[in-house]
Amino acid sequence: MATPNKKETPLTMDVFTAGLWKENPVFVMMLGLCPVLAVTNSVENSLAMGAASIFVLVCSNALVSALRNFIPKQVRITTYIIIIATFVTLVDYIIQAVSLDLYNKLGAFIQLIVVNCLILGRAEAYASKNSFTKSVISALGMGLGFTLALVMLGGVRELLGAGQLLGYQIFSTNFEPWIVMILPPGGFIVLGVWLLLINYVEEQRAEKIINEDAVPHNTAS
């Protein structure tokens, strides 16, 4: 039986918001890039994969946290994979029942959630060491951050690759779609552009903070 965990840090809003931006799974930690690049050729696919990932992430983290003191250390990874695979199977059947067309679009990437580094990594690094409440809140934040990244990529790729968003025509009929955007290379291009923009914003923000901290020192001298 696993030994009890040490005293945890207090529950704060940062537990939820960290996954949205500061520790975003895609734009910061670069996790789960296989589905990110594969299924984000439309917003619909991005939302579906994001919702599936949130469900699996929250449910698996909740169960891992609840059982963390009862799972032997020697078989913890195997146990986590079994737990995750159970919820992935549920998602797989649910999506098939809701929309077979959507299920075919997502293809094998639904089953591949089992080996998603984000899902397994959160179970091992966070849920197994924190309380039920913190694990669920953190998983929800990470899941929403992952979904946000998927939609940001899917929105750009669908808009430029088809001139549409969620099936609604945005550009005029004279618009010539950028076919490359809905092909695999488009995923790499859009991800690279988003990373460039986000890193630029973060650098400007850090530089502004440094300059603001330097002003009082200059005034005092």
pLDDT score for 7: 57
Tell me how far apart the alpha carbons of residues 144 and 151 are, in angstroms, rounded to a whole number.
10
Main-chain phi, psi angles of 68, to 5 degrees: -60, -30
- Which has the closest alpha carbon to 149: 117, 196, 194, 95? 194
pLDDT score for 8: 62
pLDDT score for 115: 80
Question: Average of pLDDT values for 25-42?
Answer: 90
Please, what is the end-to-end C-alpha distance for the chain in angstroms? 60
- Which has the closest alpha carbon to 135: 220, 39, 8? 8
pTM for this entry: 0.87
pLDDT score for 107: 81
Chain length of the chain: 221
pLDDT digits (tens, 9 = 90+) for 119-172: 999 999 999 999 999 999 999 999 999 999 999 999 999 999 989 898 788 888
| 77 token code pair | 């990874």
- Sign of the Cα torsion 54, 122, 149, 112 reads negative
Decide if pLDDT at 182 tops 80: yes
Strands (E), the chain: 164-165, 168-169
pLDDT score for 117: 86
Decide if pLDDT at 215 tops 80: no
